[in-house]
Structure 1
Amino acid sequence: MTKAENIVSKYIDNLILPSEPLSPIWNKENELLDKAPKWNYIDNCMITAVLMMYELTDDEDLLDYSIRFINTYVAEDGNIPTLNYADYNLDNINGAKNLFKLWRITNEERYRLGFERFWTEQLVRQPRLDCGSFWHKSIYPDQIWLDGSYMALPFLIEYGMLHKSRGIIDDAIRQLWDMRRILRDPDTGLFHHGYDDTSTMCWADRITGLSQEFWLRSNGWMCAALADSCELLPKNELLKRELSELLTALSKYCMEDGMLLQLPNRSELENNYPETSGSLLFAYAALKAARLGICGDDMRKAGQRTFDTVTEKFIDDSGDVPVLKNICLVGGLGGENNRDGSAEYYLSEKIVENDAKGIAPYIMAYTEMKKLS
């Protein structure tokens, strides 16, 4: 057994499967900020990884756990009592992708009703900018956040495919391309974290409406969104081009060992640090792009190098539960704390261990490596 295989096995047996759905060990935001249990994107990132492992191994324990976890939050009629669809929060759509997977595997009606509710109760009514892109949340009006690419747009594609709606699919493709048009920096090829269409937010440039910095994990979310969308739409040359461009841009900022910094292009900042969750999202997307034939062997090697460095340098596997380090807990713009999107802000956010935002991409990247081999 390789070190990576041992780490994944330990995570599954000693951290994931023992976690109670209402108090999962991996949700550090709930733990540190004393949040009540509710439907959220963080837990669903982990269930996504668990279901990827199930698809790879046919281990029924993984499927049974995913069902138990999701059924804790989703009622038989597809309703999610801890969720308010009128929040129009794109983060909440992330878990709807898992409802698709479980419905296809089990044919249980609760999951179909669940993802249909996300369409009829939220996405049909989701507020949009004048360009047609979704607001990130109702509390962030007229704003695009890069995170929303991963949370919602692959779901939109899959929903459109299920219902044979070219219009829904094209809507998702256009929104992904609009993110490139609006958020991409032509000099670095990296994407700004956010855009304010009114250019009035504390973090927004008064002329462009863009946030200042290129936050690693947001670029990682975009990579993963494009990789998953390309897998759903393997003939779409526009998405393949966008994915290849972003992976190439990020790879230029990889350090010698393959890691990417919290602010990838700001290596001169003394307290900038190699951040694992965003690095692993890059590795996942790079490995998937190689498997899908979108990128060549150089990108496969880049993803492999990043994954191997995280495995060797940033995970302590000496105990029963491995410990993944250097995970940025949260990153956002505006809100109650008036997060200004500066370098100082991103480097001030808490760094944690063993949060799902790091563990899930590690397992996701691992499944891509196994598929490649």
Structure 2
Amino acid sequence: MKENEKRLEEAASRVYRYMMHSKPEEWGDHKWADWAMNIDRWDWNPGVGLIAAEAYGEPSARGEVLRDVETWTRRNLGQSETVKVINAIAPFAVFPRLYRETGERYYAERAEAIARWLMDEAPRTRSGAYEHTVTEQASFSEQIWADTVFMAVLFLARTARLLANGRMADEALRQALLHLQALQDEESGLLYHGRNCEAGDWMSAAKWNRANAWNAVGIPMILEEVEGLAGDAETLREIKRRYLRLAEALAARQSDGGLWPTVLDRPGYYAETSGSAGIACGLFKAAAMGLVPAALADHAERALSAVLDCIGADGAVAGVSGGTPVLDSVEAYGEVPVFPTLYGQGLVLLLLTEALRQRV
């Protein structure tokens, strides 16, 4: 194994261990530690980690990783019965893979049931985009958040592939486009964190790093799933056009150190690791798929080097901003505290996994 690949493998192994098998005494003593690192919850934060674990476990040599994913699922299934909100869809994204690996019909049947809820019952804004709903006691009426593309639309695309369902594939594409249309700043090409459809504004109008990352990495993953299934060629063309615009805008905002600031058009704000990893993973994927020029993968390589420097000896990823709803002001994003989280581990693991895949 080449020295660079060996470093990536070792880093991925450490990040994975800390995400899936670390103990509370390793999480630090800040007040968000349990929320940030307790993987036994059915919500978006553990869900991002599971999606990354599934990708990391894809090579047959890592069969124990997929066993970990199935063990987690069996252990936490009871929680899944109590919540049906956009943010709690994320863990279901591993069900199509679990069905293929185990042959257990439950995974396919449950994935289909949740996908049909998304198709027919999930709350939507007046634009038709999914309204961002959460497990916490909070309502974001008529709000579209960038996060939803990764948390729910990816699952819908995967289930469309599992069921060979063109209608679901078209809806996944439509949701991806509705989010891009609602959130993309036509001048800069970057995405705002959220939009209030009732007020007709972008609320704080923050071009938040991780909001852009959810789409930078999520959209290529979605397009991989719906290829050959979706029949709406015009929607696909517009998604690709908007994605290229986003990728070029992100490349232009990368800092000299390789990461991106937590608010993309505020270069003085702190560098944020999880969003930077998601952006880099997306650029790697998009370049390999021909969605963007191959030269943009150079930006992903620069980010990869910087992200590796953020991984501790224990596998904890530093520089990850805490859970972030749409905040009241752009300035508030620069004050979000940083600490290791499951989604931070997950986004970094996705990047490392993609980097290793492209070196094979």
TM-score, normalised by the number of residues in structure 2: 0.86
Q: Aligned residue for 1:316?
A: 312
Pair 113,227 (structure 1): closer, same or farther in 2 beyond 3 Å: same
Tell me, yes or no, if the aligned pair for 2:56 and 2:353 is still in contact at 8 Å: yes
For residue 345 of structure 1, what is the amino acid of its counterpart? Answer: A
Q: Aligned residue for 1:371?
A: 357
Q: Aligned residue for 2:50?
A: 47
- Secondary structure, aligned partner of 1:195: strand
**In 1, Cα distance between equivalents of 2:38 and 2:353:** 31
Q: Aligned residue for 1:216?
A: 209
Shift of 1:316: 3.0
Q: Aligned residue for 2:224?
A: 231
Shift of 1:31: 1.1
RMSD (CA atoms): 2.6
- For this pair of structures, how many residues does the alignment match? 342
Mapping of residues 144-183 of structure 1, within 5 Å: 144-183=144-183
For residue 246 of structure 1, what is the amino acid of its counterpart? Answer: L
Pair 346,16 (structure 1): closer, same or farther in 2 beyond 3 Å: closer
1:331 aligns with 2:324: yes
Q: Aligned residue for 1:203?
A: none
Match of 2:41 among 33, 38, 49: 38
**In 2, Cα distance between equivalents of 1:128 and 1:17:** 33
For residue 350 of structure 2, what is the amino acid of its counterpart? Answer: M
For residue 142 of structure 1, what is the amino acid of its counterpart? Answer: E
Q: Aligned residue for 2:244?
A: 244
For residue 8 of structure 1, what is the amino acid of its counterpart? Answer: A
**In 2, Cα distance between equivalents of 1:372 and 1:34:** 29
Shift of 1:120: 4.1
Tell me, yes or no, if the aligned pair for 2:273 and 2:319 is still in contact at 8 Å: yes
Q: Aligned residue for 1:84?
A: 83
**In 2, Cα distance between equivalents of 1:135 and 1:173:** 16
For residue 367 of structure 1, what is the amino acid of its counterpart? Answer: T
Q: Aligned residue for 2:99?
A: 103
Larger RCO (alpha carbons 8 Å, 6+ apart): 2
Tell me, yes or no, if the aligned pair for 1:307 and 1:362 is still in contact at 8 Å: no
Q: Aligned residue for 1:6?
A: 10
Higher helix share: 2
Percent identical:
21
Structure 2: which 5+ residue stretches go unaligned?
229-235
- Secondary structure, aligned partner of 1:244: helix
Shift of 1:97: 0.9
For residue 91 of structure 2, what is the amino acid of its counterpart? Answer: G
TM-score, normalised by the number of residues in structure 1: 0.83
Shift of 1:350: 1.6
Q: Aligned residue for 2:339?
A: 352
**In 2, Cα distance between equivalents of 1:115 and 1:26:** 32
Shift of 1:275: 0.2
Q: Aligned residue for 2:232?
A: none
Structure 1: which 5+ residue stretches go unaligned?
200-206, 334-338
Shift of 1:370: 1.7
1:118 aligns with 2:114: yes
For residue 53 of structure 1, what is the amino acid of its counterpart? Answer: Y
Mapping of residues 236-315 of structure 1, within 5 Å: 236-267=236-267, 269=268, 272-312=269-309, 314-315=310-311
- 1:269-311 C-alpha deviation (Å, 9 max, x unpaired): 4xx1000000000011011112212223311111111011111
Which runs of at least 4 in structure 1 moved beyond 6 Å after TM superposition? Answer: 23-28, 33-36
Pair 365,274 (structure 1): closer, same or farther in 2 beyond 3 Å: same
**In 2, Cα distance between equivalents of 1:245 and 1:286:** 12
